[in-house]
């Protein structure tokens, strides 16, 4: 059943005050750049304004704006992934390659205990900032794949199509991004 909308909800002059902070926080958490987040939100408002006549009013205005913004984030990462990728030859697998122990952790590179049992809001905020820092250190394509799959929950096949990679390449990139993030968090957060 379509949601009842107030006439003020459809007034573009109220969108920035009503939805701007929410959309900005969403965009910033995906791109970790103040300027880029602002640009994406601005582009979202412009796109919404241009397509206001085609808005079917089957959802809340915020939901509609967020869906436009999500598409803008996906487009951003799709465009970035087609640019020259950083050399990733420096990636070192944390697994043994010796015959008979393939797939086992190298002892020095095995996951550490993160001790996240005790909930502490301050520690949680610190952890969030560390994740954002570590995400920013990933090669662009790795970050694109990770953000789209894990944070945006986009289907793998859609990501492969958008980023122009094969399914097997996608899973390798996602695996390496997760390993790199884990290693970064352990070095920069757990070892302080």
Q: Could you tell me if 112 and 151 lie in one domain? A: yes
Note whether residue 122 is domain-resident. Answer: yes
Whole-angstrom distance, CA of residue 80 vs CA of residue 32: 14
Tens digit of pLDDT for each residue in 137-192? 888 888 889 988 988 888 999 888 888 889 999 999 999 998 888 888 888 766 65
CATH number assigned to the domain comprising residue 40: 1.10.1740.10
Query: In total, how many domains does the chain have?
Result: 2
Backbone CA torsion sign across 137, 24, 62, 78:
negative
Note whether residue 94 is domain-resident. Answer: no
The domain of 185 spans 107-190
Whole-angstrom distance, CA of residue 132 vs CA of residue 1: 38
CB 146 within 8 A of CB 181: yes
CATH number assigned to the domain comprising residue 116: 1.10.10.10
Q: Could you tell me if 14 and 76 lie in one domain? A: yes
Tens digit of pLDDT for each residue in 30-65? 888 889 999 999 999 999 888 888 888 888 888 889
Q: Could you tell me if 72 and 111 lie in one domain? A: no
């Amino acid at each position: 059943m379509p949601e009842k909308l107030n006439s003020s909800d459809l007034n573009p002059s109220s969108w920035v005050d009503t939805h701007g902070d929410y959309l900005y926080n969403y965009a910033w958490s995906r791109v970790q750049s103040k300027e880029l987040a602002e640009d994406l939100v601005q582009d979202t408002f412009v796109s919404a304004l241009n397509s206001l006549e085609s808005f079917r009013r089957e959802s809340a205005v915020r939901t509609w704006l967020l869906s436009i913004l999500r598409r803008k984030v996906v487009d951003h990462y799709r465009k970035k992934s087609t640019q020259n990728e950083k050399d990733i030859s420096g990636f070192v697998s944390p697994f043994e390659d010796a015959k008979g122990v393939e797939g086992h952790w190298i002892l020095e590179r095995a996951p550490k205990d993160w001790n996240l049992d005790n909930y502490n809001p301050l520690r949680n905020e610190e952890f969030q900032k560390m994740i954002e820092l570590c995400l920013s250190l990933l090669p662009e394509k790795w970050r694109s794949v990770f953000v789209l799959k894990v944070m945006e929950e986009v289907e793998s096949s859609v990501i492969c199509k958008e980023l122009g990679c094969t399914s097997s390449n996608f899973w390798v990139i996602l695996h390496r991004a997760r390993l790199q993030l884990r290693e970064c968090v352990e070095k920069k957060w757990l070892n302080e």
